[in-house]
Amino acid sequence: MSEAQDLARRIAESARQLFEAGVMSHSGHANLSARLDDERMLLTPGSVRGLLPGQVATVHRDGRALEGSLQSSSAEIVAMHAVVYRARPAVGAVIHTHSPAATAFAVAHRPLPCRTEPLLRFGQAEAVPVVAWGPRGSDVSVRSITRVLAENPTTRAVLLANHGLLAFGPDLTATANLVMAIEESAEAELAAAAIGGAVDFPEGALTAVRASMARVA
């Protein structure tokens, strides 16, 4: 099995995992990509519900489909994925969803605080910042994502204002886990608001969590 075939299989598996976890929107809209090299990525072609590995396309970062094909809705978002790969050389996968609770924060233009332990464990030990709205895949959107990534060098996700969630990580598994942790945290924030509001971690929580994880690694 080639590297591209293996990554395509992992993309399909990650999409299935997100649906099974119940973090997808009613429409099931999402797009997933994986870095192939400095110029190419694998990208889902359109709908990811029931995605098969053979449907995943290989695309150049300039938007050209090199193998397979893309629906117009996916062609628009190549630049959104490419800007993350350019800004973060260590990133191996990018996932965009319209996960309902996370999208509520995006629609409200409110950063999502880090107040749940899964966020700490999956590397998002700070609030998920909001990127100003711009038409999907436009220069305005790409510039805004670039700026927010530069201003928040350790964030592993951003909220796209009036749109949804963009998460990224070293590989597909880590990124899918982060998407699930973000959605759970957003749900918890919204639920906690009804009983007085969420409370921040005590000082030193991240260090304590990392020490706990290291003991069993």
Q: Are 149 and 160 spatial neighbours (Cβ–Cβ below 8 Å)?
A: no
DSSP-H helix ranges across 60-197: 72-75, 78-87, 100-107, 117-121, 139-151, 172-193
**Are the C-beta atoms of residues 134 and 141 closer than 8 Å to each other?**
yes
With beta carbons less than 8 A apart as the criterion, state whether 108 and 114 touch.
no
Strand order across the beta sheet in which 164-169 lies? 65-67, 57-60, 40-43, 30-35, 93-97, 164-169, 157-160, 130-131
Residue 144 and residue 187: Cα distance in Å, rounded? 26
Q: What is the set of domains in the chain, with CATH numbers? A: 3-215 (3.40.225.10)
Question: Which is nearest to 115 in space by CA: 193, 174, 59?
Answer: 193
- The region, left, alpha or beta by phi > 0 then psi within -120 to 50, assigned to residue 83 is alpha
Q: Please, what's the largest Cα pairwise distance for the chain?
A: 53
Please compute Rg for the chain using Cα positions.
17
DSSP-assigned states of every residue in 19-32: HHHT-S-TT--EEE
Residue 205 pLDDT: 85
Give 10-residue mean pLDDT values along the chain (217 residues). Answer: 92 97 94 96 90 94 88 81 96 97 98 94 93 90 96 97 97 97 98 96 87 77
Burial (Cβ within 10 Å: 0-12, 13-18, ≥19) of residue 50: exposed
Q: Residue 33's closest CA among 106, 87, 101, 84?
A: 84
Tokens of 102: 């996370």
DSSP 56: P
